[in-house]
Amino acid sequence: MLPQIYIARKIPVEVENYIAEHFRYKKWDRLEPIPREYLFEQLADCEGLLTSGTRIDQELLDHSPKLKVVSNISVGYNNFDLEVMRERKILGTNTPKVLDDTVADLILSLMLSVARRVPELDRYVRAGHWSSKDDENIFGVDVHHKTLGIIGMGNIGQAVAQRGKWGFGMNILYHNRHSKPDVEQALDAAYRSKEELLRESDFIVLMTPLTPETRHYIGEREFAMMKPSAVFINASRGATVDEAALINALRMKQIFGAGLDVFEQEPVDPKNPLLTMDNVVVLPHIGSATSQTRLEMGMLAARNLVDALYGRKPSQLVKELQDLYES
Ligand code: 8YV
């Protein structure tokens, strides 16, 4: 009998067709997130779970006695309680690489939108206004040939650096847990300490995964180091930034503006002060949101499930659980 799995989010039909060839399955195909208690009921007889963002913790695993693998349709996997999954020998997989260019494109759009005030001035014109070309009140800041500082030089960070370097002639700085000589050579990029990068950069892109070490990685101290003309971009996870400190830094004009695709609380609270600021561009966590990329992510996540439940090592087993497969 084919293994039983649960699909806990809406997926492209091509992915569902592929899954149907390998599994018995049940699915949640609404746009709103699946209620946790309902998910628990569905998982009672499932060996695999296809999801992203669902908190995989002791409570969920206590309701999933047959679960062997959780396949995230996302590159981030901060929803995994890795310690509990390790104890229970539950495999966890993600979908890196296939979304790098799509997310990097979005990050560049945020950089340009904030720097040249695109959404703000779009609203300005739609409201019936038009100003002299010499009116400094509609001036923005340049992107080309400025200094781009990337915190977290993983695959997406490198894709952003490529765009900045080759597309806009930018000077590339980066901060990472480990230096990357090959990237430095390929992009003429320079390694900097976190503090040096914050002080020297005109555009700061935060692309670290969310871990206990990176929670509130950018806060009051860090915003105070940035240039008043600096543009701050976060497209990783909202909680890597102390959002209250960001709001204060913007109010005190410690930075020029911010581009945010992620928030500490998602969906973002409509009363969040960031949504009232003209020098902040906000998006609903759409980094990987193109049809082609979501199809590729879904197919990769489905293949991870097939590998795991058909006795093969999944190609995208997260690094912290690699030894589980050998054990
Ligand atoms: C997913 C994300 O791309 O990939 C990630 O880590 O941040 C998410 O935006 C999206 O939820 C599709 O699963």
SS3 labels along the chain: CCCEEEECCCCCHHHHHHHHCCCEEEECCCCCCCCHHHHHHHHCCCCEEEECCCCECHHHHHCCCCCCEEEECCCCCCCECHHHHHHCCCEEECCCCCCHHHHHHHHHHHHHHHHCCHHHHHHHHHCCCCCCCCCHHHCCCCCCCCEEEEECCCHHHHHHHHHHHHHHCCEEEEECCCCCHHHHHHHCCEECCHHHHHHHCCEEEECCCCCCCCCCCECHHHHHHCCCCCEEEECCCHHHECHHHHHHHHHCCCCCEEEECCCCCCCCCCCCHHHHCCCEEECCCCCCCCHHHHHHHHHHHHHHHHHHHCCCCCCCECHHHHHHHHC
Q: Does the CB atom of residue 76 touch ligand 1 within 6 A?
A: yes
Q: Tell me, yes or no, whether 130 and 262 share the same domain.
A: yes
Q: How many domains does the chain have?
A: 2
What's the rounded Cα separation, in Å, for the pair 291 and 274? 28
Confidence of residue 263 (pLDDT cuts 50, 70, 90): very high
Query: From the CA of 75, how far away is ligand 1's center (Å)?
Result: 6
**Does 214 have pLDDT greater than 70?**
yes
Distance, first Cα to last Cα, the chain:
26
Does 261 lie in the same domain as 239? yes
* Nearest CA-CA partner of 49 in 16, 9, 14, 12: 9
Cβ–ligand 1 distance for 73 under 6 Å, the answer yes
- Check whether residue 147 and residue 262 sit in a common domain: yes
Q: Decide whether any atom of ligand 1 lies within 6 Å of the 74 Cβ.
A: yes
| Position 178 confidence tier, pLDDT thresholds 50, 70, 90 | very high
Residue 120 belongs to domain with CATH number = 3.40.50.720
Q: Please state, in angstroms and rounded to a whole number, the distance separating the CA atoms of residues 5 and 151.
A: 37
The pLDDT of residue 153 is 98
Domain extent, residue 116, equals 100-282
Ligand 1 pocket residue status of 52, Cβ below 6 Å: yes
Q: Compute the distance from residue 74 Cα to the ligand 1 centre, in Å.
A: 4
Compute, in angstroms, the gap from residue 60 CA to the centroid of ligand 1: 21
With the most atoms of ligand 1 within 8 angstroms of its CB, the residue from 11, 15, 75, 95 to mutate is 75
Q: Which residues are catalytic?
A: 237, 266, 285
Mean pLDDT of 193-210: 98
Q: Residue range 36-65: average pLDDT?
A: 97
Look at 47-51, 144-148, 322-326 and tell me which has the smallest mean pLDDT: 322-326
Count of CB atoms situated within 10 Å of the CB of 50 = 30
Mark whether 219 and 124 lie in a shared domain: yes
Residue 239: which of 215, 223, 222, 219 has the closest Cα?
A: 215
Instruction: Check whether residue 87 and residue 108 sit in a common domain.
Output: no
Residue 105 and residue 93 share a domain: no
Could you tell me the two tokens for 237?
């996870």
Residues 270 and 151 in one domain: yes
Q: For CA atoms 315, 321, 323, 327, give the dihedral sign.
A: negative
133, burial (CB in 10 Å: exposed 0-12, middle 13-18, buried 19+): exposed
Residue in 51, 77, 94, 99 to alter for ligand 1 test, most ligand atoms within 8 A of Cβ: 99
Q: What are the CB-based long-range contacts (under 8 Å, 24+) for 19-22?
A: 19/50, 19/302, 19/305, 22/305, 22/306, 22/309, 22/310
| Span 223-251, pLDDT tens digits | 999 999 999 999 999 999 999 999 999 99
Average pLDDT over residues 66-92: 98
Has residue 192 got a pLDDT over 70?
A: yes
Position in ligand 1 atom list of the atom nearest CA 95 = 4
Across the range 180-208, mean pLDDT stands at: 98
pLDDT at 309 over 90: yes
CA 154-228-101 angle, to 5 degrees, is 25
pLDDT number for residue 133: 83
Share above pLDDT 70 across residues of the chain, in percent, rounded to a whole number? 99
Q: What is the rounded distance in angstroms from the CA atom of residue 240 to the CA atom of residue 212? A: 9
Q: Is residue 327 predicted with pLDDT exceeding 90?
A: no
**Band (135; pLDDT cuts 50, 70, 90):** very high
Residue 75 in contact with ligand 1 by CB distance below 6 A: yes
Region 46-53: mean pLDDT is 96
pLDDT classification of 325: cutoffs 50, 70, 90: confident
Residues 6+ apart with CB under 8 A from 136: none
Ligand 1 atom at minimal distance to the Cα of residue 286: 9
Distance between Cα 100 and ligand 1 center (Å):
11
**Whose CA is closest to atom 12 on ligand 1?**
74
User: Ligand 1, residues 32, 73, 79: which to mutate, most atoms within 8 A of Cβ?
Assistant: 73
Q: What local confidence, expressed as pLDDT, does residue 115 receive?
A: 98
Find the length of the chain: 327
16 shares a domain with 93: yes
Q: Are residues 106 and 90 in the same domain?
A: no
* Residue 48 CA, ligand 1 centroid: distance in Å: 19
For ligand 1, what atom is nearest to the CA of residue 103? Answer: 3
143 and 233 part of one domain: yes
| Residues 163 and 79 reside in one and the same domain | no
Asked whether residue 142 falls in the same domain as residue 278, the answer is yes
Q: Does the CB atom of residue 285 touch ligand 1 within 6 A?
A: yes
Provide mean pLDDT across the span 90-114: 98
Q: What is the mean pLDDT of residues 253-263?
A: 98
Q: Is the pLDDT of residue 58 over 80?
A: yes
